[in-house]
Amino acid sequence: MMKNIPLSALIGLFITGLYFFVAIFAQWIAPFGMAEVVGDVWEPASAEHLLGTDNIGRDLLTRMIYGGQTTIFIATMGTILSFVTGSSLGFLAAVLGGWADQLLSRLVDLLMAIPSLIMALVILAMVPVTVPVLILVMGLLDATRVFRLARSVAVDINVMEYVEAASLRGEGRLWVIFREILPNALSPLVAELGLRFIFMVLFISTLSFLGLGVQPPLADWGGIVKENKDGIVYGIGAGLYPAVAIATLAISVNLVADWILNRTTSLKGGRG
């Protein structure tokens, strides 16, 4: 099985794995403390500070590593929340059908009719901005997209003979959802997982950049841009490192997702 992985997917897997590894072990990898002031303002890159220092003299590499930890943690939790709510409600709507399906689907239509960023801003104007609140808001807003995908996949599966056989056998709805629909709907959902994760990374970075996401002194990639944006006009590129980090992470996750999608569509859900 490992032999058939194309080079692009391998590179994607490697870089994605590297980012997650650094994020998990940030405390041991980072050369300095997260909020420790260790030098002058915006020092250029040197042997001691590989990426230089930031707007108040903290080591930028350290900030980037801890920033990656926060960003990846929030994005991962948001993705999990959006998948659990989105797919379970989506499967439920497909299996139940009738008015329950109508109610959920129209509610999702309504939520998707308003841009998520605008919706998030309206909510964040009312509640205190903390990490759990951010995860909850982003995860639930994004669950609408997962709901649509999960429902449309499950509706197709729900009319298959084996599902009918299971219900004729007298299995309950939970059995049908978890033992019949879930295994067959897993492949498209896993491919979508990567895209949703990237969307979460972009979303949380944007919110932090606007000052409505992760609050200082906690570091995150969007926040690093916000802190160092004044230097850009003077030709100091400290605020641009997150662009490299976000772009490489996004592209490598995309490469993996593409591979999973290709593999599953060519095999029609079989095992490769």
Residues that bind another protein (CB under 8 A): 109-111, 113-115, 117-119, 121-127, 198, 202, 205-206, 209-212, 222, 225, 229, 232-235, 237, 239-240, 242-243, 246-247, 250-251, 254
Cβ-based nearer residue to another protein, 116 or 184:
116
Three-state DSSP state, 45: coil
How far apart CA 203 and CA 181 sit, in angstroms, is 30
Nearer to another protein by C-beta: 30 or 257? 257
Could you tell me the smallest distance in angstroms from the CB atom of residue 202 to another protein?
A: 5
CB 222 within 8 A of CB 47: no
Helix axes 131-158, 60-96, angle to 10 degrees: 40
Peptide bond into 31 cis (omega under 30): no
Say if CB 103 and CB 237 are below 8 A apart: no
Distance of alpha carbon 210 from alpha carbon 155, whole angstroms = 39
Nearer to another protein, 28 or 234 (CB): 234
CB of 63 to another protein, least distance (A): 16
Shortest distance, position 219 Cβ to another protein, whole Å: 16
| Chain center to CA of 109 | 22
Smaller CB distance to another protein: residue 71 or 158? 71
**158 vs 228, which CB is nearer to another protein?**
228
CA dihedral 90, 95, 101, 107 (to 10 degrees): -10
Smallest separation, CB 91 to another protein (Å): 25
Of the pair 38, 121, the CB lying nearest another protein is at 121
Residue closer to another protein (CB basis): 32 or 199: 199
With beta carbons less than 8 A apart as the criterion, state whether 259 and 190 touch. no
Distance CA 177, CA 182 (A): 6
What tokens were used for 248? 């490489």
Between CA 210 and CA 205 the distance in angstroms is 9
- Given its phi and psi angles, is residue 223 left (phi above 0), alpha (psi -120 to 50 degrees) or beta? alpha
Least distance CB 201 / another protein (angstroms): 8
